[in-house]
A and B are shown apart, each in its own frame.
Chain A
Amino acid sequence: MSCYSTQELMIIAAAREIQDGEVVFVGMRLPITAFGVARLTHAPNAVGLFEVGIARHQPAQDMLYTMSDPPNQQNAAWCTGTMQVMGLLQGGQVDAGFIGGAEIDRFGNINTSYIGGFERMKTKLPGSGGAADIAAMSKRLLAIMNHEPHRLVERVGYVTSPGGLEGGDSRSLAGLHWGGTAAVITDRAILKPHGPQGELHLFSVHPGHTAEEVKAHTGWKLQDHPDLRPTPEPTPGEMAALHAIDRDGFWRT
Chain B
Amino acid sequence: MTSKLCSLKEAVATIIQNGDRLVMGAGLEAAIPFAVTFELIRQGKRDLDLIAPISDASADMLIGAGCATSVTGAWVGNVSGGLGHNYRRAMEKGVPRPLTVNDFSNFSLAMALMAGAYGMPFAPVRSLLGSDILKSNPEHRVVQNPLSDQPDPVVLVKPLVPDVAVFSVQRADQFGNAHLWGSFGVTQEAALAAKKIILLADDIVEPNVIASDPNRVLFPGFKVSAVVHEPAGQHPSPLTGCWKRDNDFFNDYHQRSRDRDGFLAWIEEWVLSAPDHAAYRAKLGTRLDDLRIKGSAPSAPANFASE
Is B221 on the interface with A (CB-CB < 8 A)? Answer: no
Query: Does B107 lie within 8 Å of A121, measured CB to CB?
Result: no
Q: Which of B26-40 contact A (CB under 8 A)?
A: 27-31
Query: Does B105 lie within 8 Å of A123, measured CB to CB?
Result: no
Say how far B84's CB is from chain A's closest CB, in angstroms. Answer: 6
Given contacts A68-B28, A79-B183, A80-B184, A133 and B106 within 8 Å (CB-CB): yes
Separation of A131 and B104 alpha carbons in the complex (Å): 11
Residues of A within 8 A of B106 (CB): 51, 82, 86, 128-130, 133
Query: Does B127 lie within 8 Å of A66, measured CB to CB?
Result: no
Residues of B within 8 A of A81 (CB): 110, 183-189
Contact with B along A120-144 (1 / 0, CB 8 A): 0111111111111101110000000
Is B270 on the interface with A (CB-CB < 8 A)? Answer: no
Q: Which of A97-147 contact B (CB under 8 A)?
A: 113-114, 118, 121-133, 135-137
Separation of A177 and B184 alpha carbons in the complex (Å): 30
Given contacts A67-B29, A165-B130, A118 and B135 within 8 Å (CB-CB): yes
Is B152 on the interface with A (CB-CB < 8 A)? Answer: yes
Q: Which of A68-93 contact B (CB under 8 A)?
A: 68-70, 72-74, 76, 79-83, 86-87, 89-90
Residues of A within 8 A of B154 (CB): 175
Is B80 on the interface with A (CB-CB < 8 A)? Answer: yes
Given contacts A70-B241, A121-B92, A79 and B182 within 8 Å (CB-CB): yes
Q: Which residue of A lies closest to B155 (CB)?
A: A175
Residues of A within 8 A of B125 (CB): 90
Say how far A197's CB is from chain B's closest CB, in angstroms. Answer: 16
The winner among A74, A82, A124, A159 for most chain B CB atoms within 10 A is A82
Contact of B130 among A52, A76, A159 (CB under 8 A): A159
Total count of chain A residues near the partner, CB < 8 A: 55
Q: Which of B95-138 contact A (CB under 8 A)?
A: 101, 103-108, 110-111, 114, 125-133, 135-136
Say how far B48's CB is from chain A's closest CB, in angstroms. Answer: 18
Query: Does B130 lie within 8 Å of A133, measured CB to CB?
Result: no
Separation of A87 and B124 alpha carbons in the complex (Å): 12
Known pairs A72-B183, A79-B181. 20 more at Cβ < 8 A? A52-B30, A52-B185, A73-B183, A81-B186, A81-B189, A82-B53, A83-B107, A89-B107, A89-B127, A118-B136, A122-B92, A124-B91, A125-B77, A127-B74, A130-B105, A160-B131, A165-B130, A175-B130, A175-B142, A175-B152
A-B contact pairs, 15 of them (CB 8 A): A53-B184, A66-B29, A72-B183, A79-B184, A82-B28, A82-B53, A90-B107, A113-B133, A127-B73, A132-B105, A162-B129, A171-B130, A173-B151, A174-B129, A175-B126
> Which A residues have a C-beta under 8 Å from some C-beta of B?
50-54, 65-70, 72-74, 76, 79-83, 86-87, 89-90, 113-114, 118, 121-133, 135-137, 158-162, 165, 170-171, 173-176
